């Protein structure tokens, strides 16, 4: 019986970490996804929703896929699209901050291999609280088709 309970608990933990929802400590990460690439395409973007329980900021991301992972912001200046690396993304307490097309994204550069739809990409996301304390959240983001739209799976709220 005890063993059964333990199995259920482990299964639940696995399910929680395998799914896109990950709520631990201060920052929750939801609906993470990576845009698939075609062969020899060397860069792509990752998108997700971040929500911090206390004022903090998202400072960096890393992934075993490539050593070059940057946080970028896209901005339109008139008709011209500009993309820039940012040092951090502010996460005001309780506010849902979306990394999505038309705003912030995580950029994976110098890719060595194709990122295929259905694959899973691990990320370590680093957040910093007002007290300067850093927290790392590990997530696994599913790879979605190149032509996936910006809308998350359950966007109707």
Partner 1 sequence: MNQRVSTNASRRAFVLSGAAIAVGALAGCSLKGAVSFNGTDITGADFGRDFRLKDPTGQERTLADFKDKVVLIFFGFTQCPDVCPTALVRAAEVKTLLGPDGDRLQVLFVSVDPERDTPEVLNAYTAAFDPTFLALYGDQERLAETAKEFKVIYQKVPTGDSYTIDHTSVTYAFDTHGKLRLKLSHSQSAIEYAADVRKLLHAA
Stretch that binds partner 1, among 53-61, 64-72, 90-98, 119-127 (CB under 8 A): 64-72
113 is a site residue for partner 1 (CB under 8 A): no
* Length of the chain (residues): 157
d(C-alpha 2, C-alpha 64), whole Å: 37
Considering only the stretches 12-20, 24-32, 68-76, 124-132, report the one whose residues sit in contact with partner 1 under the rule CB under 8 A. Answer: 68-76
Question: Which of 5, 80, 153, 155 touches partner 1 by CB under 8 A?
Answer: 80
Burial class from Cβ neighbours inside 10 Å (0-12, 13-18, 19+) for residue 132 reads exposed
User: Which of 42, 116, 130, 134 forms a contact with partner 1 (CB under 8 A)?
Assistant: 42
- Asked if residues 137 and 60 have their Cβ atoms less than 8 Å apart, the reply is no
Backbone φ, ψ for residue 135 (5° rounding)? -135, 135
* 53/114 with CB nearer partner 1: 114
Indicate whether 116 belongs to the interface with partner 1 (CB under 8 A): no
Q: Which of 71, 74, 70, 92 is nearest to 82 (CA)?
A: 74
Per CB under 8 A, residues contacting partner 1 are 35-36, 38-45, 68, 70, 72, 74, 76, 79-85, 101-102, 105, 107, 109-110, 145-150
């Amino acid at each position: 019986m005890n063993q059964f309970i333990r199995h259920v608990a482990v299964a639940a933990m696995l399910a929680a970490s395998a799914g896109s929802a990950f709520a631990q400590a201060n920052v929750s990460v939801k609906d993470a996804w990576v845009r698939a690439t075609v062969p020899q395409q060397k860069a792509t973007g990752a998108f997700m929703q971040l929500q911090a329980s206390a004022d903090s900021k998202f400072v960096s991301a890393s992934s075993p896929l490539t050593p070059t992972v940057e946080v970028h912001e896209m901005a339109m200046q008139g008709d011209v699209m500009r993309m820039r690396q940012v040092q951090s993304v502010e996460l005001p307490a309780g506010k849902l901050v979306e990394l999505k097309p038309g705003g912030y994204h995580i950029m994976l550069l110098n890719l060595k291999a194709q990122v295929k739809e259905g694959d899973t990409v691990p990320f370590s996301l680093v957040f910093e609280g007002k007290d300067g304390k850093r927290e790392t959240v590990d997530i696994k983001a599913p790879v979605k088709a190149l032509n996936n739209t910006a809308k998350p799976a359950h966007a109707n709220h």
